[in-house]
Amino acid sequence: MNKKVLALAGSLLAATALTGTAAQADVKIGLLGGITGPIAAMAPAMLLSAELAISEVNGQGGIGNGEKLVQVTGDSACNPQNGTDAATKAVNIDGVVGLVGPHCSGAVIAAANSVAIPAGIALITPSGTSPEITNLKDNDLVFRTVPSDDYQGRALARSLKEQGMDSVAVAYLNNDYGSGLANAFKSEFEAIGGKITTFAAHEGEKASYRSNLAELAKGGSDTLVIFDYGDGSGLTMLREALENGFFTNYVGADGMKSDAPIKELGANNLGTFLASAPVGEKSDSLDVFAKNFKDIGGDPDAVFVTTSYDATFLMALAIEKAGGDKSKVGAALRELSSATDGEAVMPGEWAKAKALIAEGKPFVYKGAAGTYNFDAAGDVPGVYALFKVGANGFEKVADMK
Amino acid sequence: MELALGLANYALFMGVFIGIYAILALGLNIQWGYSGLFNAGIAGFFAVGAYTSAILTSPHAAGRIGGFELPTLVGWVGAMAVAGLVAWPIGKVCLRFRSDYLAIASIGIAEIIRLVIKSEDVLTNGAKGINNIPRPFGDLPYVQSQIAYLAIVIVVLAVVYVAVERQYNAPWGRMMRAVRDNEVAATAMGKDIAFRRLQAFIFGAALMGLGGALFAHFSRSITPEAIDPMVATFLVWIMLILGGSGNNRGAILGAAVVWIIWSVSEIATDRLPHEYAVQAKYIRVFLIGLMLQLVLRYRPEGLLPEPLGGARNAPAATAKATPRNGH
């Protein structure tokens, strides 16, 4: 009984809180981020880049007849409990027309399943990389601006085979990032005739990985593929492997393409180290974004800020196209991304895009992290390249297909 | 109109979460409230239950066992059974420890369970988690589906509450409190302390497993990220302590109060200028901690204290409550 009374009291409290909200003409967009919790260090920069997109929209005419785009920030805390809670509030209490986020895959899956899909609200995540997001039965409402780890893992497998590496050992960090990449890599590499001698997960933040490395080296391969972060346990692992000469060649994915290994280990020691990473398509979009983002005090090299900006900008475009009708935002997103010809719209060019939408002309959004052609599952294929360490940091070796 | 519907949706959602947390708190009440076992590994049993039910009921997916597609009810019973089974060897070993030591051991156990779940791809799909778990009446529209699930949760909670509450006045409950309050005396009465403690530990763990299963089906997915000690262990502890350990109604009330504060405080902090949006999110973490401090300082027995002497529902109730000593 108490429970019902309290639930009622809670909703009343919510209702009183609501009276303070802005004018009804505003269009609301939900930004769900892992503000507290394990990715607390990354979330503020991602939210800042999303806010950049929103302020550009509002500075250049807003939505529709000059209505303001207003953000509703929710804390998904990187777990499904808070993710669904934040999404429920954004959708039901604030009445957002679209969701950008949550940031972590588990929260994305739960929030999509129990809020966004039943409520018919479109959702774009800028950083949920788990391949499981592809498997959602989402009525074409769930999208992401970051490629699934699946793509990169498979592309890396093909590139290594091309580079003549037929037998490798694989070590991966045991989280959705590491295991997603590693499993995609494994299935592709074995399918094209490569051999994986050892395949082992490791936990992050251990003081030493010598025993893991010794186990990995037993397989007899001279190449180690590490799916980990270059400023965390991946660095420790790489250092110990180099010190003890467990392997001769080392390969990493985008997490390992960080400046930390070069600073800590020295470029001359990393002659046999390769890393794959997504590359922005050859365009000025990234430069435009970087300049604008620096102007408001952001760091354009921070993780996922480009995808977060693009997700928000795309959402705003879709809302404009749908005329602010939340039931049409998903379809508008789909339509936007399938345009392949027409004028190019770059980051910050909201007024131009708005005019094009008003005229009903097709256009291509060239985002900070590339263009977006969502596939049937709402995923985007990434563009990747293989890098080696040269005198001036990472240098591109080859494009990956 | 739309706002009213939205508020209703939010209230329903909150009701489901409160119900799930209330079941977890009741499970903890058997362990801590009745028997004085400091289990800080709730997240572990929550996870075992969630994954068991997920594996039993979800459709086939490549790369892991599953595809049994059993009815949801079987999943829930299975969740309780497996959580209880997992608790048995753990209790056998760990219950030799007292208070703080048991807490340390149980935190470790929960962490082991989390790592096993993250690592055993074949069993749990590893870090990616299990998706597309069926939700009863999940095909209905948004509101109806939430109403239906809330009804189910309320029924389950009612059954659990009645079962646990009956034990309070039953010989078993009296015996457990005797074991808790004076172990030597209980031993002298010929009670098998170790066995009784193990019983309480297993019953509590089974309820935690049930709570996990209810959560997994509501979210239609379960990922290792859900086994976060903050939201799956410590929040439950705060609920029980605030509500009143040893009192089942207190456990349910505590679940409601804490979850409402946890969830609604975010709406309040959202009214701050958005420059503070990021900082404001930490306020609720602070609020929960502050609340626990205040309760422990001014009302250590909780909002609804444990009725002493089995007073509840007994005609000759001696309502004179004397403050209970800490455990």
Q: A175-184, pLDDT tens digit by residue?
A: 778 888 898 8
pLDDT band at A392 (very low <50, low <70, confident <90, very high): confident
Structural domain that includes position B195: 9-228
Q: Is the model more confident about A255 or about A105?
A: A105
Q: Distance (Å, rounded) from C-alpha A59 to C-alpha B93? A: 64
Instruction: Chain B: give the shortest CA distance to residue A173, in Å.
Output: 10
For residue A248, is it within any domain?
yes
Q: What is the DSSP string of B176-232?
A: HHHHHH-HHHHHHTT--HHHHHHHHHHHHHHHHHHHHHHHHHHHT-B-GGG--HIII
pLDDT at B322: 46
- Do A191 and A82 share a structural domain? no
Average pLDDT over residues B75-100: 92
In a domain, B75, yes or no: yes
Most confident range (mean pLDDT) of A225-234, B123-132, B247-256 is: B247-256
* pTM (predicted TM-score): 0.86
Q: Which one has a higher pLDDT value, B232 or A342?
A: B232
Residue A76 lies in a domain: yes
Q: Using CA coordinates, name the residue in chain A closest to B221.
A: A110
| 8 A C-beta contact, residue A387 and residue A394 | yes
Q: How confident is the model at residue B152 (pLDDT cuts 50, 70, 90)?
A: very high
Looking at chain A from residue 34 to 63, which residues have their Cβ under 8 Å from any Cβ of chain B? Answer: 35-37, 43-44, 47, 51
Residue B72 lies in a domain: yes
Percent of chain B with pLDDT over 70: 94
Task: Evaluate whether residue A381 is within a structural domain.
Answer: no
Nearest to A149 by CA among A382, A367, A397: A382
Give the β-pairing of A249-252 and A223-227. parallel
User: CATH number for the domain including A109?
Assistant: 3.40.50.2300
Q: Is residue B249 part of a domain?
A: no
Which amino acid does the sequence have at A230? G
Percent of chain A exceeding pLDDT 90 equals 49
Name the DSSP class of B59.
P
- Determine, yes or no, domain membership for B54: yes
B59: in domain: yes
- A224 shares its domain with A260: yes
The arithmetic mean of pLDDT across residues A1-28, rounded, is: 54
Together in a domain, A247 and A173: yes
Tally of domains within chain A: 2
- Residues B164-186 have pLDDT tens digits of 999 988 999 999 999 999 999 99
Q: Which secondary structure element, helix H or strand E, spans residue B103, and what is its range?
A: helix B99-119
pLDDT of res. B147: 96
**What is the predicted pLDDT for the residue at B253?**
96
Question: How many domains does chain B divide into?
Answer: 1
pLDDT in tens, A233-259: 889 999 999 999 899 999 998 888 878
How many angstroms separate the CA atoms of A247 and A239, rounded? 11
Same domain, residue pair A365 and A291 = yes
The mean per-residue pLDDT over the stretch A32-58 comes to 90
ipTM: 0.90
Chain B 109-168, residues with CB within 8 Å of chain A CB atoms? 115, 118-119, 121, 125-129, 131-132, 135, 141-142, 145
User: Who wins on pLDDT, B326 or A226?
Assistant: A226
Q: Are A191 and A263 in the same domain?
A: yes
Average pLDDT of chain A? 87
Asked if residue A131 and residue A112 are part of one domain, the reply reads: yes
Distance CA A344, CA A217 (A): 50
**Is the pLDDT reported for residue A16 higher than 60?**
no
Does residue A203 sit within a domain? Answer: yes
Same domain as A142, residue A154: no
Contact criterion met (CB < 8 Å) for A92 and B10: yes
Report if residue A328 sits inside a domain: yes
Q: Residue B42: inside a domain, yes or no?
A: yes
How many CB atoms neighbour CB A331 within 10 A? 16
Location of structure tokens 């027409």: A342
Within-domain flag for B188: yes
The residues with which A123 forms a beta bridge, in sequence order, are A99, A142
Asked whether the predicted pLDDT for residue B314 surpasses 60, the reply is: no
Q: If contacts are CB pairs under 8 Å, which of residues 263-302 in chain B contact chain A? A: 263-264, 266-268, 270-271, 274, 277-278, 281-282, 285
CA–CA separation, B59 and B201 (whole Å): 32
| Six-digit token string for A297 | 């005090």
Q: What angle in degrees, to the nearest 10, is found between the helix axes of B2-28 and B142-169?
A: 30
Query: Of B158 and A336, which is predicted with more confidence?
Result: B158
Task: State yes or no: cis peptide before A102, omega within 30 of 0.
Answer: yes
Q: Of residues B201 and A266, which shows the higher confidence score?
A: B201
Q: Rounded mean pLDDT of A132-149?
A: 90
Q: What is the dihedral of CA A276, A282, A284, A287, to 10 degrees?
A: 10
What pLDDT is recorded for position B255? 97
pLDDT average, residue stretch B285-303:
89
Residues A259 and A292 in one domain: no
- Can you give the pLDDT at residue A254? 81
pLDDT mean over B114-122: 88
Residues in chain A closer than 8 A to B247 (CB atoms): none
Averaged confidence pLDDT in chain B: 89
Cβ–Cβ under 8 Å, residues A31 and A104: no
Does residue A201 contact residue A228 with C-beta atoms inside 8 Å?
Answer: no
Q: Has residue A387 been placed in a domain?
A: no
Contact B3 A18 (CB under 8 A): yes
For residue A13, is it within any domain?
Answer: no
- Please give the pLDDT value at position B318: 42
Would residue B262 count as lying in a domain?
Answer: no
B319 pLDDT above the threshold of 70: no
- Compute the half-sphere exposure of residue A176: CA atoms within 13 Å on the CB side of its CA: 24
Residue A180 contacts residue B127 (beta carbons within 8 Å) = yes
Considering the domain architecture, whether residues A212 and A101 belong to the same structural domain is answered as no
pLDDT of residue B309: 61
Do A178 and A85 fall into the same domain?
Answer: no
Q: Do B10 and A13 touch (CB under 8 A)?
A: no
Cα separation of A366 and B127, whole Å?
A: 33
**Is position A295 within any domain?**
yes
- Could you tell me if A245 and A317 lie in one domain? no
Give the integer Cα–Cα distance in Å for B77 and B56.
Answer: 10
pLDDT exceeds cutoff 60 at B8: yes
Beta strands in A4-47 (DSSP E): 27-33
pLDDT of residue B327: 47
- Mutation target to probe the B interface, by most B beta carbons within 10 A, among A21, A114, A134 is A114
Residue range(s) defining the domain that contains residue A200: 150-271
Q: Is the pLDDT of residue A23 over 80?
A: no
* pLDDT (mean) for A140-155: 89
Closest chain B C-alpha to A104 CA, distance in angstroms: 9
pLDDT of A127 > 80? The answer is yes
User: Are A212 and A200 contacting, i.e. CB atoms less than 8 angstroms apart?
Assistant: yes
DSSP A256: T
